Amino acid sequence: MKIGVFDSGIGGLTVLKALTEKYKNDYVYVADLKNSPYGEKTEEQLEKILLDMLDYLVSIKVDVIVIACGTLSSIALKLNISEYKGIKVLNVISAIKYHLDKRKYDNIVLMATLSTITQGNFKRIISNNTENVIDCPCVDFVPLIEGRKASKKEKIEVVQKYLTTDIVEKIQNNSAIILGCTHYPVLLDEIKEISKIDEIILPSNAMIEYIKDNYEFIKDDTLKLQVCTNKETDVFKDFVNTIFNYNKIVKI
């Protein structure tokens, strides 16, 4: 089975890593670094990006598409895309929603890009699973993560900028944090340290749970991986090499 996975850059690698560890298949990962970051783009721009990415993956004949990006998952939900030109399309927001449907919280902090928060699709979808959704658009997270040069102190300061004392005090009982952008797990240690709670929902874990219960992949005997990007950067190469010990990135 050939599975296409895509994101604006390194964030989706967290989802890809979880998939490759669970299912041996033929994977193609596409990093749309040319259009990164997505968080500040208009909905019209994001719709075009989403359709262009889907068309590319259809053109290389994948069997399943995984949108490993919270921002474009929100757009896919808006456009009601669960299948595209005959190919099943999975997205991380639907996966997180599936995880949440087994639970009920007093508060959920939705940490996501400004675009995802502004669209409101994510908040609407999870509103039945909590008494209160706390919007937390983390504008500085993706540039910090993509830069990959921040110190521990700098990471803590940026996380504290968004997880304020007021929010942290509010979420100490029966609350959860959703990392609504697949980049954000890179800051998981800092988010745990500041929030002081353990219930942090990761897109990668939710996607594995979602697939396992609903769309069990046919496993191949061997794992194959191809990583592609439309703009080469040293930071992306470093992340891919660190996570997968892989350095044969294809320029598309």
Which residues belong to the active site? 69, 181
Helices (H) and strands (E) in the chain, counts: 12, 11
Q: Would you call 139 helix, strand, or coil by DSSP?
A: coil
Beta-bridge partner residues of 248 = none
CA distance 184 to 4: 21
Q: Would you call 98 helix, strand, or coil by DSSP?
A: helix
Cβ atoms within 10 Å, residue 99: 22
Helical H segments across the chain, by residue range:
12-22, 43-59, 70-78, 92-100, 114-119, 121-126, 141-147, 152-162, 165-170, 188-195, 203-214, 234-244
Angle between helices 203-214 and 12-22 (to 10 degrees): 40
CA distance 62 to 4: 6
